[in-house]
Amino acid sequence: MNAERAAEFITEPRTVRVPARAPRWVVPLVKTLLAFTDLALATLSFATAFYLRNHEAMFRRTAQGNLTWVSEFAPYAALLPLVIPIRLLLLRYYDLYRLRGEFSLVDDMARVFKATAIGSLLIVAAAFMYRGGIAYRTFSYSRGIFLFDFLLALVSIGAVRMILRTGQIVMRRRGVNLIPTLIVGRGTEALQFIREMRARPELGYRVIGLVENGQFDSGAPSYFEGVPVIGNLKSLPEAIRESGANEVIISDPSVPGEALFDVMIQTGRRRGVEFRIAPTLLNCLPSKTEIDQVGSLPMVTLFRSPLSSAARIVKRAADLIIATLALLILAPLWLLIALLIKLDSRGVVFY
């Protein structure tokens, strides 16, 4: 068995496995700290918006020496249990807690704007529907405070994302937070991918091995552009497991679509491995694809890795909250439509 493997593989896949430059808990810790930072910024933006609008302190001391809300801020304080989840869920919905792979500062700022803008609209809608509960049902909220809150949240959250991404660029140039990547096939496309990722480590990829499309030619060099050849397409699932690769780029346009999908099935989606494919292979694309770009190179992502259990819970919670708010906002319109149907036609409104 070992003799057969030595004949088949030029370089053992396990030898190209890159040891982690940081402990596994670092990325979850950074995401957690980022979420707590966003929570603090959402609270601070809302409180600062009140101060800028009214020029009044938000706290006062009671006769017992305890801090409490001033009466003017109390109706807004009652909204904080809605403001904070809406902000965090929208940021998660727009994938602003992702630290893996390539990113664009412009794209990040666009997603921050969408998350804060839609979040502010939902906060306004929730404020005027909920009105702080029974205690403040007759209170009239200031629209200026919501405008200031939007601007402050946009600037502060955007600034934090810029600082985070700048830190990622610095760390990636030092070899940290890079995705171990395999490339399938030799040729011009593979050469471009290797050179682009090597010249721009801030993209977040480290090419650790090359996989031949078909049987290895004994006359072919065992390295391609300094990258070791570790196997062929048939052995790709095993090469992924042994090398610890998290990304596979298909650069050879002659790769059979059936063989590619067999590899993906054998690899299993729960391993968190993403497959990207050169646009020249559009003839074998499934319907569930995503057009993407790595640096200046166009890519098509096949089957994004599935959401984790925590991510599914967050997504489900966001769906329920947004759907509930939409139902509440549109309820008067639906009641009006039901009334018009009842006045215009005989029988029940619902069929």
Q: What pLDDT, on a 0 to 100 scale, did the predictor assign at position 213?
A: 80
Structural domain of 292:
179-302
pTM of this structure: 0.69
Q: What pLDDT, on a 0 to 100 scale, did the predictor assign at position 218?
A: 62
| 18 within domain boundaries | no
pLDDT, tens digit (0-9, with 9 covering 90-100), for 219-245: 667 888 888 888 888 888 888 888 888
Q: Are 210 and 229 in contact (CB under 8 A)?
A: yes
Average pLDDT of the chain is 79
At residue 277, does pLDDT exceed 90?
no
- Residue 106 in tokens: 């412009």
CA distance 205 to 178: 5
User: What is the number of structural domains in the chain?
Assistant: 3
Least confident of 46-60, 155-169, 279-293: 279-293
β-pair type (247-250, 179-184): parallel
By three-state DSSP, how is residue 6 classified? helix
Residues 314 and 203 in one domain: no
Residue with the two structure tokens 């003799």 = 3
- Residue 336 in tokens: 């009006």
At residue 149, does pLDDT exceed 80?
yes
Residues 256 and 212 in one domain: yes
Residues 152 and 184 in one domain: no
Question: Which residues face 40 on adjacent strands?
Answer: none
Among residues 153, 173, 193, the one where a domain terminates is 173
pLDDT, tens digit (0-9, with 9 covering 90-100), for 51-79: 898 887 777 766 676 777 777 888 888 88
Among residues 123, 146, 173, the one where a domain terminates is 173
| 17 within domain boundaries | no
Residue 121 burial (CB < 10 Å; 0-12/13-18/19+)?
A: middle
| 31 within domain boundaries | yes
| 187 within domain boundaries | yes
At residue 182, does pLDDT exceed 60?
yes
Residues 183 and 284 in one domain: yes
Residues 196 and 236 in one domain: yes
Residues 133 and 152 in one domain: yes
Which CATH number covers residue 284? 3.40.50.720
Q: What pLDDT, on a 0 to 100 scale, did the predictor assign at position 132?
A: 57
Residues 156 and 52 in one domain: yes
Cβ-Cβ contacts under 8 Å for 207 (sequence gap 6 or more): 181, 182, 183, 193, 194, 197, 198, 227
Least confident of 238-247, 276-285, 331-340: 276-285
Residues 194 and 313 in one domain: no
Residues 289 and 335 in one domain: no
Q: What share of the chain is helix, strand, coil (3-state, %, to 5)?
A: 55, 15, 30
Among residues 173, 189, 221, the one where a domain terminates is 173
More confident residue, 7 or 342: 342
Q: What pLDDT, on a 0 to 100 scale, did the predictor assign at position 2?
A: 43
Segment 285-297 mean pLDDT: 50
| 8 within domain boundaries | no
CA distance 35 to 157: 11
